[in-house]
Each structure stands twice: as structure tokens, then as C-alpha cells.
Amino acid sequence: MLLIHLLPPKPTSLRVRAWRKLQRLGALPLKNSVYVLPFNEKTHEDFQWLKQEIEGAGGEATVFRAGSVEGATDEEIIDAFRKARDEEYARLAAELDGLTGAAREQKRGGHLSAGRLGGYEAGLDKLHAELERVISTDFFGARGRVAATAAYERCRKALRASQDRRGDGKEAGATKSDVLHLPQYQGRRWVTRRNLHIDRLASAWLIRQFIDRRPRFHFVAEGERVEGGIPFDMFGAEFTHRGDDCTFETLIKRFRLGDDHALGQLAEIVHDIDLKDDKFNRLEAAGVNATVTGLSELLKDDRKLLQQSGVIFDGLYALLSVDAGKDKGEGGGGKKRGRGAGAGGRKKSG
């Protein structure tokens, strides 16, 4: 796909906006004002949206599909795409390793306060979002992706280890005094970060179906708070990653939902997708991840995404419940987890 554009002298901000948008799309400059992307439905739509924006500001733009580009072979263009992504991967790997080194140095010197650790966590979130963007525009499998992903994992594990050591000495599993009771968590405000993905989506589904019959969800920017809200999957929250557990697993343990075999299997899938450590080697993980990622691309509104993704987890839970029933020789649907005394049974979606 080729985009050829002519920008007006004013507003000057249009030039900056167009350049930034092209960078985020992963478009490659071929000549002055000529950019290329590999052809697919998404790239075609991306260029069309940018064309509309340029024309709306008084500029000119043309989008078309080309069989070849004069002066450059397909192999040369592909190599240029890989080189551009490798440069971005190298920059991100360096920043991630710098963040890891700074956090470790602070910890060794005994200066890693909760505030500094929170700042490092926020920095990691931003770099992770940038890494995900670069991966989404890595059309031809640049080699630098492996190193950048490894740098992210090193940083994530280093910060998590620091966070665990700053805790109150509790184990990742729940003790009797650590377990919470469902009646105290009805009709509450549940708060998490914007731009939902697997752990936050699955955790919200778990809250709605097994914990709180009337939950109200709020999606906030980094550092934003909701009065009276219960944060989850956020730095410093009560319900977040603990030890080797993702937030979904933490919620299951804290609310004593662990005897539901189907939920346990679903937690393994969520863990493998979220932590990317292949701890459980769930074969379903790749497909579920692709489905949730595709849905998040389609639905940019977090509330709509939460609503639509619920059917994914409902379906998985139903399938895993049937499998659990067959394993136990029940010949039908597996046992569904109740909500505990005074909380009622599992809700149906709708």
C-alpha cells in the first residue's frame, strides 16, 4: 500500500501529527511524502483514515495498491522494514535494560522506596505498550524482537522481585487470615488501568461472575484514583500480581475459588498469556490471546471490550466445566462453583 500526500503550510501541527501517525503505523518512507505499508485490510484502512485526516485539514492524499515500486525491489523494501523495526527494538531493549539496572542499583543501596518502585513500574508499563506497538508493526519478523522481549521479561521479573521483597512477608498463597469474604464485596467499585488485556479482562469477568453481583468498573489512567474504589491489576493494589501469580490467580486464591476445577484451568490459560512464561504450556493460550487481541483492536472502548469479551470467558468456562465433568465420570456438565454463603450462585451472562 502506498500513501502519497501533500500537506498545506498551515496548520503546522498537521505535519507533526501526520509524521507521528505514520511512525505509529510502522510505515516506511520511500521518497519525499511517499510511504509504504504491506497490503492487508488493516493497513489499507489505516492509510485511508490518515488520508481522510489530511484532506480534512486542507491537504491532498492518495492511497493505492502497487504491484512494484520503481527503484526498489520487494526484498529491499522488506529489508528496510526489518531494519526500521530492529532499530526500534534495540532502543527499547536499551531502555528496558537501563530501567532494570537502575532498579537493581537502588535495591542494592537500600534506596528503593515504594514511590521509586512505583515510578519504575509506570515506566515499565509505558515501555511495554511501546514494545507491543512495535511488535504489531513488525510485518516481516525482525531479529531484534527476541532481544527486546527478553529485556522486557528481565525488567518485569526484577521489579516483581523487588515488589515481593517489599511486602509484609506473606506468601503468594492465601492463609486463613488472608482470605476475604464475598458478602463484603457486593456492589463495589472496581478500578483498573485503561487499555484492557487478558489479565484485567479475565479478572473483571471473574469479579462479575463469582465475586460481586453488582460490580461497577472504572478504567483509569496511571496514577488516577477513584474514591472508595477497589483497585485490581495495578501497582500497589491488594488484588494484583503476587509472587508467580497473575491477578486472576490472586483473586481465585483470596476468595477461595480454588476448588472449581474449570476456573483453575482457565487461570492456567490466563497465566500463560499474561506472564508469557509457558508455566502451564496450555495449548489454548495462543488462540485465546489472538482472539482477545483481535477484539481489542476492533473495540477501542474498554467498557464495550469488557462486555464483548465476556462471552469468550463464558465459553471457555463452559467447555472446561464439561471436560472436568467427563474427567470425573459425571457424563455431563461439570460442577459449577457457587458464590458462597449468602452470595447466590454463578450469574449468567447478559
* Range of lowest pLDDT (6-15, 57-66, 197-206): 6-15
Region 150-165: mean pLDDT is 82
Q: How many alpha carbons lie under 13 Å from residue 228 in its C-beta half-sphere?
A: 8
Q: Can you give the pLDDT at residue 144?
A: 96
- Distance, in Å, from the CA atom of 318 to the CA atom of 324, rounded to the nearest integer, reads 10
Which of 84, 82, 1 minimizes the C-alpha distance to 38?
1
Q: How many alpha carbons lie under 13 Å from residue 137 in its C-beta half-sphere?
A: 26
pLDDT digits (tens, 9 = 90+) for 45-93: 899 989 998 998 889 999 999 988 888 899 999 999 999 999 999 999 9
In this structure, the number of other CB atoms found within 10 A of the CB of residue 256 comes to 16
DSSP line for 284-303:
HHHHHHHHHHHHHHH---HH
Query: With contact defined as beta carbons under 8 Å apart, do 242 and 250 qualify?
Result: yes
Residue 177 pLDDT grade (very low, low, confident, very high; cuts 50, 70, 90): very low
Helix or strand run (H / E) with residue 45: helix 41-56
On the question of pLDDT at 176 being above 50, the answer is: no
The residue with greater pLDDT, 41 or 323, is 41
User: What's 347's DSSP letter?
Assistant: P
Q: Can you give the pLDDT at residue 228?
A: 87
In sequence order, which residues have a C-beta less than 8 Å from that of residue 316 and are 6 or more positions away? 266, 269, 284, 288
In this structure, the number of other CB atoms found within 10 A of the CB of residue 195 comes to 14
Percent with pLDDT over 90 in the chain: 54
- Strands 2-6 vs 34-36: parallel, antiparallel or unpaired: antiparallel
In sequence order, which residues have a C-beta less than 8 Å from that of residue 262 and are 6 or more positions away? 317, 320, 321, 323, 324, 334, 336, 337
On the question of pLDDT at 325 being above 90, the answer is: no
- Distance, in Å, from the CA atom of 131 to the CA atom of 156, rounded to the nearest integer, reads 13
pLDDT digits (tens, 9 = 90+) for 101-157: 998 888 888 888 877 887 888 888 889 889 988 998 999 999 999 999 999 999 988
- Distance, in Å, from the CA atom of 122 to the CA atom of 124, rounded to the nearest integer, reads 5
Burial profile 235-255: b = 16 or more Cβ within 10 angstroms, e = fewer:
bebebbbbeebbbbbbbbbbb
What the block records as the C-alpha cell of 144 is 531484534
Which of 127, 124, 115 minimizes the C-alpha distance to 166?
115
Q: Can you give the pLDDT at residue 157?
A: 87
Q: Can you give the pLDDT at residue 219?
A: 94
Query: With contact defined as beta carbons under 8 Å apart, do 61 and 1 qualify?
Result: no
- Distance, in Å, from the CA atom of 40 to the CA atom of 25, rounded to the nearest integer, reads 13
In this structure, the number of other CB atoms found within 10 A of the CB of residue 43 comes to 20
Q: For residue 236, give Cα distances in angstroms to 200, 231, 233.
A: 15, 9, 9
User: What's 99's DSSP letter?
Assistant: H
On the question of pLDDT at 333 being above 70, the answer is: no
What residues pair up with 2 in beta bridges, in sequence order?
36, 64
